[in-house]
Every structure is written in C-alpha cells, then in structure tokens.
Amino acid sequence: MSGARLGFFTRLLDAAPDGRRYRTALAQVRAAEEHGFASAWVAQHHFDRDEGGLPSPFPFLAAAAVQTDRIALGTGIVTLPLEDPVRVAEDAAVVQALSDGRVQLGVGSGGTPSAFAAFGRASEDRREIQADHLDVLRDAFAGRGIRGSDLRLNPPAPDLAVRLWQATFSVEGGRRAGRAGDGLLLSRTQPREPGQALHDVQVPIVEAYLSSLPAGVEPRILASRTAVVVDPDRLAEAWASADHGVRRLTRTFLGQDDTGDLADLARLTDTHLGTVEAVVATLAADRTLPLATDVAFQVHSVDPAPEITLRSIELLATEVAPRLGLRTGEAAAAELRGLTTTETAAV
C-alpha cells in the first residue's frame, strides 16, 4: 500500500465510569506502543458523552507520556476556536517536555455548533477565531512575543511549530493546511453525498494539500479509519457490539436510513470489521490510504469489549500492517519526532 506509519486513535467511549474509561484507554495506548504503533491520538469532545469521553486531552496525554517511552502522542483534535490558544500552547509545551518531544498537535475548527454557546463563542465565527488562534500558537512556539507582548512561552517548545496538523473536510481546508506547511488530518466521518465513497471525497483534499505545500516541506497526511480485527471465534460477538454504533453513525453523520442490513451499513460507514483477511481486503480498496503518511485506527463505532480492542491492536500490528505495507517499530515512531535511526539509539 503506502508505507504509512501505523497509528492508534481513541475517542474514549468504552462503556464504563469515567475513571475506568480513562484507565482503559491508557492501557490501549500502552498496548499500541508494545506492538510497535508509531502514534496514538485522542479526540476532544465537549458535553456529549456518546460522541466522546475526553474534554481535556492534555491531562490524559500527560498520563500517557509517563506510561510510555516511544509512541508519538497526538491530539485529533483540539477544537481551537473554543480554547485559549495561550493555554493550548502551554499545555502542549508541558506534555512535550514530559514526553521528551513526542507531541503532535492536531487542531480543528470543530463540528458541534451547540458547544460554542457554552464557551461564549458563535459557531459562525469559528473560522476567523481559528485563524487568529493559530497565529498565536505559531508565535508562541517560534519564541516570538505572545499577542504583541514581550512574554515568551515557558517551557519553550520550538519543535511544536513543525508538529501542527489541521483537520478539514474541504478541498480549501486542504489548501490552507498545505500552504501553512502543516500536517493534514482526515476523518472517517467525512461528510459526503449518498453513493460517494470516502476516498472519492478525500483524495481531492489530499491533492489540493500536496499541490499547496511549500517547496522542501515533507507532506504529513493522517487518515483516521475504523478497524476492528477479530479472531473467528469472536466474530459474532463483535458484530453484535457494532449494531448500535454503526446504525447511529449511519443516521447522524451520513443522514441516511439506518434500518438496513448491518453488514451493508458497515460498508457504507467505512467500518472495517472482521477477520484479518476480511479487514485487509476492505482496507486495500481505500484509495486515500496509499497517499497517507500515517493511518490511525479506532474501534469506534463498533466499541467492542476491551479484550477484543486489545486483541485488535495486536492483530493490526502483527498481521494487517505487514500485509498492507504499514510501518511499525521504533524507527517509524522516531520519524514523527524528527529523529534519525541513529539518534533513536540515544533516546
């Protein structure tokens, strides 16, 4: 396929009290590192427990930083218009120091208009706020005075200037990320018309991004996908756990009828669920993935039992990744930190 780096992604949706949710997700990040995943990404969601379990990603990533050694730790995403960008810069800088330089900072303008009122913001202003807040982040990471003052970010985090990623659903958003030299984050919940495949919408975004990158800037393209890989004896159980979430995803994100056959809805929502052979076959048909530098897999909206998630992490790394040419291991993780293979020996 692409030689993309293998990543893990979570929205922290395990059916458990909050503390156990967070501990379960930390165990999944540790398992991902143990099996050679290059990166682990967490989403930020406010208020809606069924959409995401983590309103504050940096405390979680700080906990992950002290429980891991190599895996990159990313936000996918921080909803930047709802945040104070100085606090985002400070929080990211602390985790960057705590993790010895493993932070990848993904930001986006957010997709839930109802959340904006609680933060005293207007959803229709999100793009203007996003642009302003990105400017503040860039000044902070570059060591320039923040908002025209003489104040500098402490601790300094100059590497984060080249660890920014922008999430988008649009071709123009791809161009913006490319012109800025940032990474590009692509979601499995990409809006699209009935009958459109996910790659039909995302390949033009990638092409716009690549055509807009400044000369000499290496592309960074992460595609988030749902994949749950199971042993044959757990297949029926996994499909049963997928029923509610896949139907909800069909209804809410795609706006389509959710009463059909579950296997058909899984294909419609790009839910890659099955044995190693089945998941390899469906992922191989995704034309976005050969263009990606990173592919991050989540179990949502299947949300199986925790032991199935851990087994899926193992099977993705040991069986699926080699068959698709996805890269794992210390060198792949080090690339996201800008380290060479020789330098990893000293880390």
Identify the pLDDT of residue 339. 53
Residue 184 tokens, joined: 């590009």
Digit-by-digit pLDDT tens for the chain (347 residues) are 459 999 999 999 988 899 999 999 999 999 999 999 999 999 999 998 878 889 999 999 999 999 999 999 999 999 999 999 999 999 999 999 999 999 999 999 987 888 999 999 999 999 999 999 999 999 999 999 999 999 999 999 999 999 999 999 999 999 999 999 999 999 999 999 888 999 999 999 999 999 999 999 999 999 999 999 999 999 999 999 999 999 999 998 888 999 999 999 999 999 999 999 999 999 999 999 999 999 999 999 999 999 999 999 999 999 999 999 999 999 999 999 885 333 433 43
What is the rounded distance in angstroms from the CA atom of residue 226 to the CA atom of residue 244? 15
Neighbours of 271 (CB within 10 A): 26
Q: Which amino acid is at 153?
A: L
Whether the predicted model's global pTM rises above the 0.85 cut: yes
Backbone angles phi, psi at 74, to 5 degrees: -120, 155
Identify the pLDDT of residue 330. 95
C-alpha dihedral over 164, 170, 171, 175, to 10 degrees? -30
What residues contact 285, with CB distance under 8 A and at least 6 apart?
A: none
Three-state SS sequence of the chain: CCCCEEEEEECCCCCCCHHHHHHHHHHHHHHHHHCCCCEEEECCCCCCCCCCCCCCHHHHHHHHHHHCCCCEEEEEEEEHHHCCHHHHHHHHHHHHHHCCCCEEEEEECCCCHHHHHHHCCCHHHHHHHHHHHHHHHHHHHHCCCHHHCCCCCCCCCHHHHHCEEEECCCHHHHHHHHHHCCEEEECCCCCCCCCCCHHHHHHHHHHHHHHHCCCCCCCCEEEEEEEEECCHHHHHHHHHHHHHHHHHHHHHCCCCCCCCCHHHHHHHCCEEEECHHHHHHHHHCCCCHHHCCEEEEECCCCCCCHHHHHHHHHHHHHHHHHHHCCECCHHHHHHHCCCCHHHHCCC
Residue 301 tokens, joined: 């909206």
Dump strand ranges (E) for 146-253.
164-167, 183-186, 221-229
Cis peptide before 204 (omega within 30 of 0): no
Identify the pLDDT of residue 338. 86
Q: Are 221 and 206 in contact (CB under 8 A)?
A: yes
Identify the pLDDT of residue 2. 57
Q: Are 88 and 137 in contact (CB under 8 A)?
A: yes
Identify the pLDDT of residue 1. 46
What is the rounded distance in angstroms from the CA atom of residue 259 to the CA atom of residue 248? 10
What residues contact 314, with CB distance under 8 A and at least 6 apart?
A: 31, 35
